[in-house]
Structure formats: C-alpha cells, structure tokens
C-alpha cells in the first residue's frame, strides 16, 4: 500500500489515525495524502421561498481556520520520514474522501460513526477504520478475517494481502457461507499461495452472526478485522447489515479493513 489517504479533523482520534497512515506508508515506502475538508453545505441555509443564503462570514472564518490547521499538519509531517501532501476540499466529507480516494490504495478514517461505512460503500478501494484510542501497529500482530464466501469478503481479503503477509497470526472466521459463494477452503488456498499461513475457525453460532464473530475476535485478541461491507443506499442515506453496523458502532472493536 503505497498511496494512503487519511481524513483530517481536530478530534482526539486524529493522532491515532495519522500515526496509522504513517505506519502503513513506512511499511511499503509509501506516500500519505492528508485531506482537510471544509464542507460549504454547512454554511448554506434555505429560506421558505426556496432561496438560499450563505453565511459568508462564518464560511470565511472556517476556511481560514482550516488553512491554519493544514499548515499545522504540514509542520508536523515535515518532521516525519514519510513523503506527503495535503489536499483541501469543500464537499461533504464522504464525497470528498471518495473523490480523493480514486487513486489511493487505502483510505484511513476512525471508529465511532457510520461515516466510515458510507465511505466504504461509495469508494472504489478499501477503507481502514482505526480505533479512536490507539493506532494500528505495522506489521500487524493478529488479524481476523470474517469470511462468508461473498464477493465483498473476497475483495476485502485481496485488499489486505500486503498486511496479512507480515502479520504475526492470521485467523479466518466463518459462521456461515453464502449459497454459491467461495468456500472457506478457497480463501485458505489463496492465502497459502501468497505465503500467508492462516488458521481456519468454523464458528458455532451463539446469538447473532455479529455476536458470534465478535466473541471470536475478542478471544483471539485481534488487532485488525478484515471484512466485507454490506448495505445499500436510499435517498442518500446508507443502511447497513447487522454485521457491518455492529462493528462500526463498537468502540471496543479492533481496527477494521472494509471493502464493498
């Protein structure tokens, strides 16, 4: 992964997110692109007659603040050993990231909201969802792969292969496979061809699928969970399956790598 995109904001989750992006870049002599976004839609109000009003003073202040924030990021990254650039956008965050991710190998965001899932549904590459309290160490210690035989799971597996190759331990977890999908044995063969030694766990369902997976992930003390992202859009709102939503909303979950 040599082209890493990371979303920038002033939250406490920014530091673990940026450190993860830098670790990914160092592992493969990569480049980090930091996206600073000022969504102008937040400063546009509609009146009852259908007209619009731009809070120009507030927008100007926000743009100036984000320019200063970008300059702080540049100063910080100049002290690091990774090539970088800082981009600016004025679109809504998920759309801004999806546009910037067209030529990114991976996009890095944080746990705690469905924003990460929205990005996974519209981006054309994998999305890494980092814990808010700590960065992902690279090489990764323990990786779990949620496998159901579907296309999304296969894409997530392929997208993560460079991380899996250097991991300390890799576990393939399956609760049930989709009819007509790829068998877990196919995933194991794929990993073997890439020199990745993995252990297969056929899990007995206890509660829901997501609860069964979460229990295994916790027992194995996974640092990274690789999984497909499932959902669909309707009226610009994203609705997710129980498994995707469960792990996106669980602050105790490990870092996620999602692909749709």
DSSP-derived secondary structure for 186-225: HHHHHHHHTT--EEEEEPPP-SSHHHHHHHHHHHTT-SEE
pLDDT at residue 121 in the model: 74
Residue 180 and residue 159: Cα distance in Å, rounded?
22
pLDDT at residue 239 in the model: 43
Q: Are 133 and 14 in contact (CB under 8 A)?
A: no
Alpha helices, DSSP H, located in the chain: 14-27, 56-77, 93-100, 115-122, 151-159, 161-165, 184-193, 209-219, 242-249
Give Dmax over CA atoms of the chain in angstroms: 64
pLDDT at residue 238 in the model: 42
Among the listed residues 68, 113, 72, 71, the one whose alpha carbon sits nearest the alpha carbon of residue 93? 113
- Which positions ≥6 away from 227 have C-beta within 8 Å? 145, 146, 152, 153, 156, 243, 244, 247, 256, 257, 258
Whether this prediction's pTM lies above 0.85 is answered by yes
- Which positions ≥6 away from 249 have C-beta within 8 Å? 112, 114
DSSP assignment letter at 41: G
pLDDT at residue 166 in the model: 93
Residue 41 and residue 8: Cα distance in Å, rounded?
18
CA 54 to chain centre: 33
pLDDT at residue 241 in the model: 55
pLDDT at residue 124 in the model: 74
pLDDT at residue 178 in the model: 62
Q: Quick one: tokens of 213?
A: 């997976």
pLDDT at residue 86 in the model: 97
pLDDT in tens, 22-45: 999 999 999 999 999 988 877 777
Q: Are 57 and 109 in contact (CB under 8 A)?
A: no
Residue 74 and residue 70: Cα distance in Å, rounded?
6
Q: Are 102 and 214 in contact (CB under 8 A)?
A: no
Q: Are 4 and 24 in contact (CB under 8 A)?
A: yes
Among the listed residues 239, 243, 238, 240, the one whose alpha carbon sits nearest the alpha carbon of residue 256? 243
pLDDT at residue 235 in the model: 34
Intervals of the chain under pLDDT 50: 232-240
């Amino acid at each position: 992964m040599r082209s890493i995109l990371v979303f920038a904001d002033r939250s406490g989750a920014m530091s673990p997110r940026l450190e993860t992006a830098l670790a990914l870049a160092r592992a493969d002599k990569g480049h980090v692109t930091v996206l600073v976004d000022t969504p102008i839609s937040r400063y546009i109000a509609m009146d009852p007659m259908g007209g619009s009003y731009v809070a120009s003073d507030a927008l100007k202040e926000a743009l100036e603040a984000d320019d200063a924030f970008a300059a702080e990021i540049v100063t910080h990254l100049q002290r690091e050993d990774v090539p970088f650039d800082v981009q600016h956008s004025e679109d809504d965050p998920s759309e801004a990231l999806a546009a910037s991710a067209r030529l990114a190998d991976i996009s890095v965001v944080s746990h705690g909201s469905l924003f990460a899932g929205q990005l996974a549904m519209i981006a054309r590459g994998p999305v890494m969802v980092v814990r808010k309290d700590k960065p992902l160490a690279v090489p990764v210690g323990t990786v779990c792969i949620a496998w159901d035989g579907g296309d999304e799971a296969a894409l997530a597996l392929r997208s993560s292969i460079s991380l899996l190759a250097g991991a300390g331990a890799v576990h393939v977890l399956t609760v049930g496979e989709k009819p007509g999908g790829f068998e877990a044995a196919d995933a194991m063969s794929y990993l073997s061809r890439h020199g990745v030694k993995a252990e297969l766990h056929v899990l007995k369902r206890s509660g829901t699928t997501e609860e069964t997976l979460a229990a295994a992930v916790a027992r194995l003390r996974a640092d990274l969970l690789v999984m497909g992202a499932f959902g669909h859009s309707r009226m610009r709102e994203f609705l997710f399956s129980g498994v995707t939503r469960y792990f996106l909303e669980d602050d105790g979950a490990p870092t996620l790598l999602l692909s749709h």
